[in-house]
Amino acid sequence: MRKPSILIVLFTLAALGQQAQAPVELTSEPSHHLVVDNKMVCAFAVSIDPGKSTLMHRHGHDYLSVSVGDAQIMNAKEGAQPAPVTFKDGDVRFAPSGIVHAVTNTGTTQFRNATIELLNPTTNQKPCTESCSVPVACDSADKAKCATVTKVFTSDQWTVSLVTLPAGGTWGQHSHAGGFLVVSLTDDDVAMKNQGQPDAHTKSKAGDIEWHNPVAHTVTNSGKNTAKSVLLEFNSQPAGGGSQSASARDALRSQDRK
């Protein structure tokens, strides 16, 4: 009879210990760092060192997770056996409200993701499996510099897309009817020209999370490397529904500098 490996035994014992702990709210879980807080979303930058675990915590809303880098974890849901999960960079997953779990990083590198709690009801959510490529106008003679936009998840209220913008490439003028959240998968240096305004240069690090209100703009990759990001775009936005929590964002950046 095959004996269980010592690692599995240790992870199982750790999970049992976590399940004995009373669940905490997401805002009280130390590995979850609040970055955006408005009427549409609460978005957290999550980081867990190898061999470390989160506290058992509760997700009170439907949520999306976006993996920043490859990762392997052990997911211990309350009342269930721990299960191994593998993520690839840019993976997007949806989970319904009410989940209570703890996560252990079983990989050799830091586990990072964006956890985006959806504060309004979600219906008919599903991964995109057909007609997922979004037409993008491109005037460049070198088509290798054209942006690509691919839908990866949809619902009645929002769409999640993977945006790839080669170095020197431009995503021509386009409109976002609702507010949108951008999760950077790479270190980016982009110039955004909003309609009727001068260029605004933005430098982002992989894992950065930024909220934007509805806009019509052009985006150009001013950096030397291909820029990749995951875009969560809402179909519409209620009055006063936008804006990023500057205090939460600045607190996170201050923490990263330490």
Higher pLDDT, 196 or 3: 196
User: Looking at residue 197, what is its pLDDT?
Assistant: 78
Q: Where does the pLDDT of residue 252 fall: very low under 50, low under 70, confident under 90, or very high at 90 and above?
A: very low
Q: For 25-29, 118-122, 151-155, 171-175, which range has the lowest pLDDT when averaged over its residues?
A: 171-175
* Per-residue model confidence as pLDDT tens digits over 49-58: 999 999 999 9
pLDDT at 132 over 70: yes
User: Looking at residue 239, what is its pLDDT?
Assistant: 54
Dihedral sign, Cα of residue 99, residue 104, residue 108, residue 113:
positive
pLDDT at 116 over 90: yes
Q: For 65-69, 79-83, 121-125, 194-198, which range has the lowest pLDDT when averaged over its residues?
A: 194-198
Average per-residue pLDDT in the chain? Answer: 87
Q: What is the distance of C-alpha 47 from the center of its chain?
A: 12
Q: For 8-17, 27-36, 202-211, 218-227, which range has the lowest pLDDT when averaged over its residues?
A: 8-17
3-class SS at 136? coil
3-class SS at 252? helix
User: Looking at residue 249, what is its pLDDT?
Assistant: 45
Candidates 66, 65, 51; CA nearest to 104 is 51
